[in-house]
Amino acid sequence: MRIRVCFGIVLWSSNIYKMKNLVIHPHDESTHFLRPIYNSLPNTTIVRDCISKKALIEMLKSHDSIFLLGHGSSNGLFKPNTL
């Protein structure tokens, strides 16, 4: 699997529409504007609510591309109690 990121922005290619995408975007009204990034992507699973660690690991294994959207740092997304 090859993912290219430049300054935190995923570099798009036509292959993104053939891939199975996982979007992890915790519910937060201040990041609602990020939804257009993934709303038009086909083959997309969107996680916005709490799921178990085991379920999340299985989702990570079964998807080609993973998007983490929201407030965060190099250590991960903030709002750890949400996911």
pLDDT (tens digit, 9 = 90+) per residue, 37-68? 888 888 999 998 888 889 999 999 999 989 98
Q: What's the domain count of the chain?
A: 1
Q: Is 83 a domain residue?
A: no
Please enumerate in sequence order all residues whose Cβ is within 8 A of that of 38, keeping only pairs 6 or more positions apart, or say none.
Answer: 21, 23, 25, 44, 46, 67, 69
Residue 22 structural domain: 5-77
Q: 44-47 and 21-24 as β-strands: parallel, antiparallel, unpaired? A: parallel
Using pLDDT thresholds of 50, 70 and 90, give the confidence band for residue 3. very low
Q: Is 82 a domain residue?
A: no
* pTM over the 0.85 mark: no
